[in-house]
Chains A and B, each alone.
Chain A
Amino acid sequence: MRSIIGAGAIWLALCAAAPAQDYPTRTIRVIIPLGAGGGGDVFTRALADELQKALRQPVVVENRTGGALNIGARACAEAAPDGYTICVLSSEPVVYNQFVFKSLPFDPEKDFEPISNLFFNTLALVANSSLKVKTIADLVALAKARPGTLSYGTFSFPLAHFMEKLKTETGADIVRVPFRSGSEVVNAVLSGSTPVAVLALSNMVPQLQSGHITGLVVTGKTRSPLFPTIPTLAEVRSGRITLQLGSDCSRPPARPGRLS
């Protein structure tokens, strides 16, 4: 399954006019609306390092978090369209938030000029391994046995929606705890303060490999090659609940332009 909604698409946007031939001649700023240390941030910093080598100019990453990713998206939209601000955006501000909020401080259909579609995340429902749950059924049973005591973490509406739908379908009582980034969610799961999460696998590869976090299900159509023992949602829930998200690289438009 590939969709910005459940697989975490990430894209790169540019808020800028076509740069001059000698571009770049100074520092390039990369805005990401996510917190430091999460999967999107790690990728963005690696990309920035490579761009810096290739373009022979500093490429500086700026985390602008909060506001359901609207703060960073707004900073991108309001940046000077000169080619020196680029943004790594995910599906929340580009696709979802226009339907979640009454108004946005940017126009997701006009304020970003796409540079590249970067990747799709595989999302997973996970739990702190000390809970000793291996499947969704285990989690639901535990939640029913301990109503109101379990909590789950996430940082975006589509991910929360997935869990809320699961709760409605199963009667599981798991309280939502909002976070600002994937790294915050992973820390909360590891500490046990919020032991369940819906999150991209890329945020927690070492923790899954070490066994500190248990993957219950992934949202893709096929199992992750890196974690082939985690079943897909379609396998365990007959495809009744789906989820995906994505990200890209984009920029403010030099001229009135549309992403779609």
Chain B
Amino acid sequence: MKLASEVTRIVNDRDFRQRMFIDRAVEPAGTGLEEFARFIRDERKLAERIVKDSGMQPE
């Protein structure tokens, strides 16, 4: 997809990375969508546990 390829090109541009990641204490993701989907799944499991452990009742 054109949009995705442009986003990838932009975030990998050396100047953009310096300005928007390195100079701002941000870590580039650098992961593909499959890995990211796994990451999201894992995060949801962790989030569910954290919220449960907090004793917080859903609002």
Contacts and interface: CB of A to CB of B under 8 A. Distances in A.
A99 B3 CA distance: 31
Contacts of A9: 29, 39, 43
Interface string A77-101: 0000001001000010011101111
A151 to B, nearest CB: 20
A239 to B, nearest CB: 15
Given A91-B43, A260-B44, A100 B2 contact: no
Interface string A1-38: 01111010111101000110001000000000000000
A247 B35 CA distance: 14
Interface residues of A, number: 61
A164 B56 CA distance: 11
B51 A120 contact: no
A226 B23 contact: yes
Main secondary structure on B side of the interface with A: helix
A202 B24 contact: yes
B11 A116 contact: yes
Interface stretch (A46-54, A128-136, A140-148, A189-197): A46-54
Shortest 10 CB-CB distances between A and B: which pairs? A201-B25, A117-B29, A117-B36, A99-B51, A4-B43, A226-B25, A202-B24, A120-B27, A50-B10, A260-B41
B52 to A, nearest CB: 8
A2 B52 CA distance: 21
A42 B42 CA distance: 28
B3 A83 contact: yes
